[in-house]
Structure 1
Amino acid sequence: MTAEGYTALDAELKRLKTAERPAVIQAIAEARAHGDLSENAEYHAAKERQSFIEGRVAELEDKIARAQIIDISKLSGKQVKFGATVNLLDEDSGAKAKYKIVGEDESDVKGGKISITSPIARALIGKEEGDVVEVMAPGGPKSYEIVKVKYL
């Protein structure tokens, strides 16, 4: 994962532990004060939220503990690798696209970040500027030319 992705996961973990967890504990306490727990929708909703938060905290702690952070600033070259920002040209439509290849937890297609495990990233890995790659998309095969490879 990139350092940026690690920072985002760490920030989410801290927010869950310092803000979300205390807020849900307070909500449970308030719901308990209302009386009969068997028919108390607020209590059940708060307990469900607490369960979600605790599960997410455990998941984030595990991911952070196993994370391998790759410093993209030390990478270079014209070959596409993890962390590369790749400018592509759709050979069929002429549309331009720009993607950064990141870890699974960091991917955000609308933000221009694609997972290393996505079909387009797998097709790009190991290729160089000027190469044409074929990607099997849901709508059929697509051809992209690699216009530029950068490491930002």
Structure 2
Amino acid sequence: MNTFPMTIHGADKLRDELNYLKSVRRPEIVAAIAEAREHGDLKENAEYHAAREEQGFCEGRIQEIEGKLGNAQIIDITKIPNNHKVIFGVTVTLLNIDTDEEVAYQIVGDDEADIKQNRISVNSPIARALIGKEVDSEVEVKTPGGVVEYEILAVEHK
């Protein structure tokens, strides 16, 4: 079975969602099904069918999260010595050599990626180009708009 990397933050978010689904959402759906059953004929009972469908989605998501957590290799970047190399979980500060713009990204698992929060997937082109490189290195990243050159300014374990 393949494991995949996940930050502590990502695992905590999945555990929170799992807890919500099991302790709040699942009982709400069971109650909705029971209430819809009281309305009589189940063949033409839209509330009953909608609640059953919602139950299927909820149970599917619970299984999906349990599977992800079961296959996750949870990495606490704060426990790994910082040797100024880009690895999974670090926050890397880059300088775009052409535009002189600075940007910082945390390299995270696929499920955790959120560009609005500057969290990029370890499988993204930019992360793949950065992994293994050191501070002060220059890196070329192939993007849909062409090649972008970055200088790695900092690597933080936070």
State the TM-score, normalized to the length of structure 1: 0.93
Find the aligned partners of 2:143 and 2:32 in 1 and give their Cα distance.
46
Measured after TM superposition, the shift of residue 117 of structure 1 is 0.8
SS of equivalent residue, structure 1 residue 69: strand
Q: How is 1:99-114 mapped onto 2 (pairs within 5 angstroms)?
A: 99-114=105-120
Query: Percent identity among equivalent residues?
Result: 55
Measured after TM superposition, the shift of residue 114 of structure 1 is 1.0
Task: Structure 2: state its 5+ residue gaps.
Answer: 1-5
**Aligned twin of 1:148:** 154
User: What is the number of residues matched between the two proteins?
Assistant: 152
Measured after TM superposition, the shift of residue 140 of structure 1 is 2.3
**1:78-129: CA deviations, max 9, x gaps?**
1101111001112222222110111122211111111111111100001111
> Which piece of structure 1 moves more, 112-121 or 86-95?
86-95
Find the aligned partners of 1:141 and 1:16 in 2 and give their Cα distance.
43
**Aligned twin of 1:63:** 68
Q: 17, 21, 26: which is aligned to 2:22?
A: 17
Find the aligned partners of 1:129 and 1:9 in 2 and give their Cα distance.
32
Is 1:42 aligned to residue 47 of structure 2? yes
Q: 8, 32, 42: which is aligned to 2:13?
A: 8
> Which is richer in strand?
2
Find the aligned partners of 1:16 and 1:47 in 2 and give their Cα distance.
15
Misfit runs of 4+, over 4 Å: none
Letter of the structure 1 residue corresponding to residue 66 of structure 2:
E
After superposition, the CA RMSD in angstroms is 1.3
